[in-house]
């Protein structure tokens, strides 16, 4: 896939999963639970011990899914994630080196931003989409107002997004939401039910 095709695929369902666990086995189990429930894209946070092990395993066994790396905060981590098979990179902050490294290998990058100034800077650096983080400190109304001035900004609210408020973020102009424990907590059955419910809800969101 070209970068733009990957971005379209990651955001097509308007939500992607964030996996952050105590180890690689737990990460694989959590990712498989939401993927089996119908989610197409997940990121494995590099704060997970041996995260690259989980990432490499999932990219080999779930080749139809979009497996990315999250919490990528420097160029070295970006390169390691790409070598492990990451299809996209997500960061909590804006690091031009991460963007350059991802793009060097054809991998889209979603850096973290929290102000209009950071959003414009990220776009200037070539960001493929913007992770609005932490979304819990802001609101869908805030995003709606900012997008009135920056309608070209593809925004991904992450951090505090819930099943209840995800449709509000989409209605405010977000292209997709990143969700972690709000989707993955409680085991495979509970997370699977939440994914199914959320996908039905977001399919009708405007």
Specify whether 43 is catalytic: yes
CA distance 133 to 143: 12
List of long-range contacts for 135-138, beta carbons under 8 Å, 24+ apart: 135/159, 135/160, 135/161, 135/169, 135/177, 136/160, 138/114
Report CA-CA distances (Å) from 201 to 33, 127, 156: 19, 28, 17
Peptide bond into 185 cis (omega under 30): no
User: 143: how many CB neighbours lie within 10 A of its CB?
Assistant: 22
User: Tokens at residue 127, please?
Assistant: 């960001």
Q: Does 125 qualify as catalytic in the annotation?
A: no
Q: Using an 8 Å Cβ cutoff, are 43 and 18 in contact?
A: yes
Per the residue annotation, which of 32, 83, 125, 131 is the catalytic one? 131
**56 CB-near residues (< 8 Å, 6+ apart):** 84, 85
Strand-pair partners of 69? 44, 89
Cα–Cα distance measured from residue 55 to residue 38, given in angstroms and rounded to the nearest whole number: 19
Catalytic residue among 5, 26, 32, 43: 43
Q: Which residues are catalytic?
A: 43, 131
């Amino acid at each position: 896939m070209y970068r733009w095709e990957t971005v379209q695929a990651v955001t097509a369902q308007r939500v992607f999963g964030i996996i952050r666990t105590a180890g690689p086995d737990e990460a694989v189990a959590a990712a498989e639970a939401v993927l089996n429930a119908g989610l197409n894209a997940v990121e494995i946070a590099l704060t997970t011990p041996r995260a690259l092990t989980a990432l490499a395993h999932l990219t080999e066994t779930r080749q139809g899914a979009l497996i990315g790396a999250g919490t990528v905060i420097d160029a070295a981590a970006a390169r390691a994630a790409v070598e492990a098979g990451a299809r996209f990179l997500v960061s909590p902050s804006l690091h031009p080196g991460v963007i350059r490294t991802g793009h060097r290998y054809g991998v889209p990058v979603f850096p973290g931003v929290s102000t209009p100034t950071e959003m414009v800077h990220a776009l200037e650096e070539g960001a493929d989409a913007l992770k609005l983080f932490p979304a819990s400190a802001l609101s869908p109304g805030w995003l709606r107002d900012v997008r009135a001035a920056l309608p070209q900004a593809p925004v991904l609210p992450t951090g505090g997004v819930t099943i209840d408020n995800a449709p509000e973020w989409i209605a405010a102009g977000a292209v997709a939401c990143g969700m972690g424990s709000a989707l993955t907590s409680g085991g495979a059955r509970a997370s699977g039910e939440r994914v199914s419910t959320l996908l039905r809800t977001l399919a009708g969101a405007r």
